Amino acid sequence: MRKQILSTVLALCLAFPFLLLLAGCAAETSLILRVYNWEDYISEPTENDSEYVDLISKFEEEYEEKTGQKITVEYSTFGTNENMYNELQINPGSYDLVCPSDYMIMKMISEGMVEEFSQDFLTNSNYAKYASPYIKDLFEEKGWTNYATVYMWGTMGYVYDPELSETIEEDLSSWSGIWKKEYAEVATIKDSVRDSYFLGVAVAYREELMQLKERFEQGSIDAKAYNDEITRIMNLTDEETLEKTKDALIQLKENLYGFEVDSGKQDMIAGRISINFAWSGDAVYTMDDAEPYIDENGKEIPGIYLNYIVPEECSNIWFDGWVMPKGANTELAEAFIDFLSAPENAVENMNFIGYTSAIAGDRVFEEMIDWYDESADPENRGTDEDGNALVAYDLNYFFNGTSDGEYENGDFIIYVSEESAKRQISAQYPTEDVLTRSAIMQHFDDETNASVNEMWEEVKGLPIPLWAYIAIAAIIVLILVAALSFAYKGKRRNAKVKKGYTVLKRGAQ
Amino acid sequence: MVKIHFSRKQLCIPYGLFLALFVVIPMLLILFYAFTETVDGTIRFSFANFLNFFTSTAKLSTLLMSFTIAIISTAICLLIAYPLAYILARSKFKKKNVLLMLFIMPMWINFVLRITALRELLDLIGLLGTDNYLNTIIGMVYDFLPFMILPLYTTLEKLDNSYLEAAADLGGNKFTVFTRVTFPLSMPGVISGITMVFMPSMTNYVVSDTLGNFNITILGKLIDQYFTTYDNWHMGSMISIILLVIIFLTMLLTGRFKDENRDARGANLW
């Protein structure tokens, strides 16, 4: 008996490695902040470039300096909003700070999944001081101010190669540009329901949207009414809209090079495609990487100058923001946002990620002048080295009211050449007109989601090509023939046994 | 000194644990999810997913397309691999193991890498983006060919030469010997190869996404979508179950051949 127990124990030991895997980590003495963010969405040194500031360890150091307490940031990343949401559903209270996109923030707020920010944070933090008033007003209007702060934001548009055709700029000033036969197999769109749905609706309702624009330009409706109406149209999910959108997208599919998840940037840079439906942040990245440049050995690396355009009908203003899930350590989470909202850190992030931070302030504006301004003389801006007049790119709507005293309201203008105004800066900071026609995409409820997904499935799965029908028919015929001949053969074999012979069963010997 | 003796039962404990944790419980979970739905936060029993699958044009056409792609890929694999395995197994070449290894070696390189490389190659010759179905099938064939070669080679190599000699003695010409003796006797290898290629070809969406520029949805992709982006585990599980049933049925059909050729069973590597 004893022997049996002993060997049972030993056998259990064989299973020990599994148990070890399941066991948790040892306890830590320092404070822990658990942050859950998108991949590649914070400045950190990379293998190729160690120049980037490691913002996480910088935060840990700064926090210890300020409060005397050690803090460790447990930083993990997710790939889609839905993955993040599921993770939170399965393990509630496992994170202090997460960074979902607009519609997911809406969903989480409506489901009561997030903590409110403290009054102190809302009135007296770097975020309160430096976040752009444009962003803050937008949030105030929607009633999200107490639950979420914006991290990065932008629009959607087309990145394109202006050399592709004479009329490309004009063609792409409408979303329907990539439906044209002229641009067959040169464009990609996102393999994502929400983004592509937006594109489909914009084309399906092109006439209505253009009429609205006309009315707005004539002055018969004001900016707010215009934007509200666009937001209403772009969020339509009734059956008729779904049907129209589906038809538009299936038509588009035939004309596309393909869908993409993340390869659009590389495909643009490599010249495989010439038009890409992109988020503004990715657009900046693509344009940066495609440009010709001079490497460290002084060798010229050829490249192409790409443009970014937000079509006339409408656009989508999107943002990713920080929320604190229920049960979070709000004090630490707020300290982290406060740290990220300091303009010098926001600049590091923008530099690394390529997206546009919601943080304004002198430091960010100076960086933008450094990146984009082409004035020859910093004191007397407005003309370039050759004396050509530059275009005034007005960023006052974004920066006004966030200066520490270096700039006055109204000073926030960047002077760029006409060509450059269509490049990185237009993706980094959309102009005010673009924002007037940019809608926030809402969160769909479960039922709507199901029918939108169904529509998307049909777009992706249909139509079945003709050859497939032929192939299937051939396969069925083949199977039938095989089955028939098999059955026939079986009969013949049995019939062949002649009288007087004994049939030996297989294996009988 | 105490001599430790493990009984069979005790030796089974580690595997038993593994089986329960990673096979039985997950299967039950998938079954549970497949036949339930979440309505207003509560989970209830339902056949809705099942009905939805068989009434949705999109899903049925996905099923049909995956099936077609898988069958065509398998057929091409078989057409390429059989002559190859036959020649290799019958040849008197001394270093044939080296040759075989050359065909098998790609299996040891991560397939995502191979597919990405193939994408570049297709781009180079200008096929990428023109016919997504063709590219997907090329990818599937390229990726799964070794899985077809290996079982075929093993069966054909083990084939007793005396059978062939006997058939020839009895007056069969080369063609008859092949159709009446060699091919029937290699059936276990064929079946094993078919199952090895057919099943992954229906689900391996890395291939269809990379080479078909996300234009093609196959069943594996659909399942992935339901779990990751549509956030509907119930439908995702239902599609998994349907796939399981399809594969089970194919096995059942092919299983007949296996039993008939009990002797050659060793060829069934997998």
Please report which confidence band the pLDDT of residue A16 belongs to, taking 50, 70 and 90 as the band edges. Answer: low
The residue assigned the tokens 């070794």 is B146
Q: Which residues in chain B have Cβ-Cβ distances shorter than 8 Å to A256? A: 215
Structure tokens at A305: 């100058």
Does B179 contact chain A (CB < 8 Å)? no
Q: Which residue from A261, A457, A468 is facing B58, i.e. has the nearest CB?
A: A457
The architecture in CATH of the region B57-267 reads Orthogonal Bundle (1.10)
Give the N- to C-terminal CA distance of chain A in Å, as an integer.
Answer: 48
How close, in Å, is residue A468 to chain B by CA atoms? Answer: 7
Residues B142 and B31: their CA atoms lie apart, in Å, by: 34
Neighbours of A308 (CB within 10 A): 25
How close, in Å, is residue A63 to chain B by CA atoms? Answer: 36
Query: In Å, how far are A235, A236, A434, B74, B176 from A439, measured between CA atoms?
Result: 9, 12, 10, 48, 73
Reference A426, options A203, A196, A162; nearest CA is: A162
Angle at A317 between CA A312 and CA A322, to 5 degrees: 170
Does A15 contact chain B (CB < 8 Å)? yes
Question: Residue A24 pLDDT more than 50?
Answer: no
Amino acid (one-letter) located at A169: E
Interface of A with B in 124-153 (CB under 8 A): none
Query: What are the pLDDT digits (tens) for A217-230?
Result: 888 888 888 888 88
Q: Do B65 and A458 touch (CB under 8 A)?
A: no
pLDDT of B107 reads 80
Residues 6+ apart with CB under 8 A from A504: none
- Of A18-27, A142-151, A182-191, A320-329, the one with minimum mean pLDDT is A18-27
pLDDT of B77 reads 93
Provide mean pLDDT across the span A240-254: 89
Query: What are the pLDDT digits (tens) for A93-120?
Result: 889 999 999 889 988 898 888 888 888 8
Residues 6+ apart with CB under 8 A from A482: none
Cβ contact A252:A184 at 8 Å: no
Does B133 contact chain A (CB < 8 Å)? yes
Sign of CA dihedral B229, B230, B231, B233: negative
Compare all CA atoms of chain A with the CA of B12 and give the residue at the minimum distance: A11
Structure tokens at B197: 């290629």
Does A167 contact chain B (CB < 8 Å)? no
Q: Do A272 and B128 touch (CB under 8 A)?
A: yes
Q: Do A185 and B129 touch (CB under 8 A)?
A: yes
Q: Do A82 and B230 touch (CB under 8 A)?
A: yes
SS3 (DSSP) at A151? strand
Does B62 contact chain A (CB < 8 Å)? yes
Query: What are the pLDDT digits (tens) for A341-356?
Result: 888 888 888 888 888 8
Query: In Å, how far are A302, B33, B36, B47, B59 from B53, measured between CA atoms?
Result: 51, 15, 14, 10, 6
The neighbouring-strand residues paired with A357 are: A152
User: Which range scores top for mean pLDDT: A167-171, A362-366, B29-33, B226-230?
Assistant: B29-33
Backbone angles phi, psi at B37, to 5 degrees: -145, 155
- Per-chain mean pLDDT for chain A: 82
The residue assigned the tokens 């393999």 is A191
Q: Which residues in chain B have Cβ-Cβ distances shorter than 8 Å to A260? A: 213-214
pLDDT of B2 reads 67
Backbone angles phi, psi at A464, to 5 degrees: -80, 125
Compare all CA atoms of chain B with the CA of A445 and give the residue at the minimum distance: B40
Between residues A509 and B256, the one the model is more confident about: B256
How close, in Å, is residue A451 to chain B by CA atoms? Answer: 11
pLDDT of A393 reads 83
Q: Which residue from B4, B11, B58 is facing A461, i.e. has the nearest CB?
A: B58
pLDDT of B258 reads 52
Please give the full DSSP string across A253-298, using - where no structure is assigned.
HHH-SEEESSTHHHHHHHTS-SEEEEEHHHHHHHHHHHS-EE-TTS
Cβ contact A441:A156 at 8 Å: no
Residues 6+ apart with CB under 8 A from A58: A339, A345
Boundaries of every domain in chain B: 57-267
Structure tokens at A266: 């590389």
pLDDT of A491 reads 61
CA A94 to chain centre: 24
**Beta strand segments in chain B, E:** 36-39, 42-45
Residues B219 and B246: their CA atoms lie apart, in Å, by: 12
How close, in Å, is residue B96 to chain A by CA atoms? Answer: 34
- Of A136-145, A376-385, A386-395, the one with minimum mean pLDDT is A376-385
Chains A, B: CB contacts within 8 A come to 115
Please report which confidence band the pLDDT of residue A26 belongs to, taking 50, 70 and 90 as the band edges. Answer: very low
Q: Which of B230, B234, B261 to mutate to test the interface with A (most CBs of A within 10 A)?
A: B230
Structure tokens at B261: 């050729």
Do β-strands A31-38 and A300-301 pair in parallel, antiparallel, or remain unpaired? unpaired
How close, in Å, is residue A226 to chain B by CA atoms? Answer: 32
Residues A398 and A359: their CA atoms lie apart, in Å, by: 9
How close, in Å, is residue B101 to chain A by CA atoms? Answer: 33
Compare all CA atoms of chain A with the CA of B230 and give the residue at the minimum distance: A453
pLDDT of B269 reads 42
Q: Which residues in chain A have Cβ-Cβ distances shorter than 8 Å to B231? A: 82, 85-86, 449
Residues 6+ apart with CB under 8 A from A80: B228, B229
Interface of B with A in 29-58 (CB under 8 A): 56-58
Residues A233 and A203: their CA atoms lie apart, in Å, by: 11
Q: Do A3 and B5 touch (CB under 8 A)?
A: yes
Cβ contact B50:B235 at 8 Å: no
Torsion of CA A219, A222, A227, A230, to 10 degrees: -50
Residues A356 and A152: their CA atoms lie apart, in Å, by: 5
pLDDT of B263 reads 47
Residues A428 and A360: their CA atoms lie apart, in Å, by: 13
Does A197 contact chain B (CB < 8 Å)? no
Q: Do A453 and B230 touch (CB under 8 A)?
A: yes
Q: Which residues in chain A have Cβ-Cβ distances shorter than 8 Å to B18? A: 18
Q: Which of B72, B213, B226 to mutate to test the interface with A (most CBs of A within 10 A)?
A: B213
Q: Do A465 and B133 touch (CB under 8 A)?
A: yes
pLDDT in tens, chain B (270 residues): 667 777 777 888 888 899 999 999 999 999 999 998 887 778 888 888 888 888 888 888 888 888 889 989 999 999 999 998 888 888 777 777 888 888 888 888 888 899 989 988 988 888 887 788 899 999 999 989 988 988 999 898 888 888 888 888 888 888 888 888 888 888 888 888 888 898 889 888 889 888 888 888 889 988 988 887 777 889 999 999 998 898 888 777 766 655 554 444 444 444
Please report which confidence band the pLDDT of residue A25 belongs to, taking 50, 70 and 90 as the band edges. Answer: very low
Compare all CA atoms of chain B with the CA of A471 and give the residue at the minimum distance: B68
Cβ contact A185:A158 at 8 Å: no
Do β-strands A315-316 and A438-439 pair in parallel, antiparallel, or remain unpaired? parallel
Q: Which residue from B2, B7, B229 is facing A82, i.e. has the nearest CB?
A: B229
Query: In Å, how far are A13, A149, A257, A282, B80 from A272, measured between CA atoms?
Result: 56, 38, 9, 17, 32
Query: What are the pLDDT digits (tens) for A419-459?
Result: 787 888 888 888 888 888 888 888 888 788 888 888 888 88
Q: Which residues in chain A have Cβ-Cβ distances shorter than 8 Å to B13? A: 8, 11-12, 14-15
Q: Which residue from A12, A18, A464 is facing B61, i.e. has the nearest CB?
A: A464
Q: Which residues in chain A have Cβ-Cβ distances shorter than 8 Å to B7? A: 4, 7
Please report which confidence band the pLDDT of residue A17 belongs to, taking 50, 70 and 90 as the band edges. Answer: low
Do β-strands B42-45 and B36-39 pair in parallel, antiparallel, or remain unpaired? antiparallel
Q: Do B57 and A462 touch (CB under 8 A)?
A: yes
**Residues belonging to chain A:** 509
Does B10 contact chain A (CB < 8 Å)? yes
Cis before A17 (ω within 30): no
Tell me the fold of A153-317+445-463.
Answer: D-Maltodextrin-Binding Protein; domain 2 (3.40.190)
pLDDT of B138 reads 92
Please report which confidence band the pLDDT of residue A492 belongs to, taking 50, 70 and 90 as the band edges. Answer: low
SS3 (DSSP) at A34? strand
Q: Do B214 and A261 touch (CB under 8 A)?
A: yes
Boundaries of every domain in chain A: 153-317+445-463
